[in-house]
């Protein structure tokens, strides 16, 4: 007996993540972690954590079912290769009900590792991203400066206007242990 449904399937509940590498020697060393609206992310002794010591959610770990909830306004994906290299990808969504298809490929070239990928917004909009991965230290903090509170400027100081107008970097890596 067969049952035919006349209802349309609802839009996907998840964002799909796809690792394009067919080479298992690369794909088995890749992990992707997700954290929503981070201000700081800690990496200590092979563990990615939030400032409250909660481990980051692992969304890609050598599985064909790579997905995460689409209900977010801003997320940072941390792509790691062999616990030696990382790349962070910030994604901002105007509509949390929209599902994205995120695909990426990791290329090892000499002593460097690169990431190339796309974010398909399912409306024909395709965003490409690429860049080198960053070498990891034994312990470090990744700070998202645009989400930190602005620095307090002392109005009595003579150089306070210069400090207030200097652009700060978007992200800062503070090495705790080399």
Rounded to the nearest integer, the mean pLDDT of the chain is 82
Q: Is there a contact between 69 and 77 (Cβ–Cβ < 8 Å)?
A: no
Instruction: Answer yes or no: is pLDDT of 63 > 90.
Output: no
By percentage, how much of the chain surpasses pLDDT 70?
Answer: 79
Q: pLDDT tens across 83-136, in order?
A: 999 999 999 888 888 888 999 999 998 899 999 999 998 767 788 999 999 999
Q: Which residues pair with 41 in a beta bridge?
A: 142
- How far apart CA 43 and CA 69 sit, in angstroms, is 23
Instruction: Answer yes or no: is pLDDT of 160 > 70.
Output: no
- Sorted by sequence, the CB contacts under 8 Å of residue 3 that are 6+ apart come out as none
> pTM to 2 decimals?
0.80
Rounded to an integer, the average pLDDT of 138-164 is 71
Q: Confidence class of residue 139 from pLDDT cuts 50, 70 and 90?
A: very high
């Amino acid at each position: 007996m067969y049952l035919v449904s006349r209802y349309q399937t609802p839009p996907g509940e998840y964002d799909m993540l796809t690792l394009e590498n067919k080479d298992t020697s690369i794909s088995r060393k890749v992990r992707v972690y997700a954290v929503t609206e981070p201000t700081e992310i800690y990496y200590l002794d092979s563990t990615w954590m939030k400032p409250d010591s909660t481990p980051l959610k692992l969304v890609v770990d050598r599985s064909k079912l790579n997905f995460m909830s689409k209900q977010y306004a801003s997320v940072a994906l941390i792509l790691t290769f062999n616990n030696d290299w990382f790349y962070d990808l910030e994604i901002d969504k105007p509509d949390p009900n929209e599902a994205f298809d995120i695909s990426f490929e990791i290329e090892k070239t000499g002593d460097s590792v690169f990431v190339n990928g796309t974010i398909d917004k399912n409306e024909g909009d395709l965003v490409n991203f690429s860049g080198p991965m960053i070498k990891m230290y034994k312990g470090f903090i990744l700070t998202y400066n645009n989400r930190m509170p602005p620095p307090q400027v002392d109005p009595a100081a003579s150089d306070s206007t210069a400090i207030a107008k200097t652009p700060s970097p978007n992200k800062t890596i503070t090495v705790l242990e080399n």
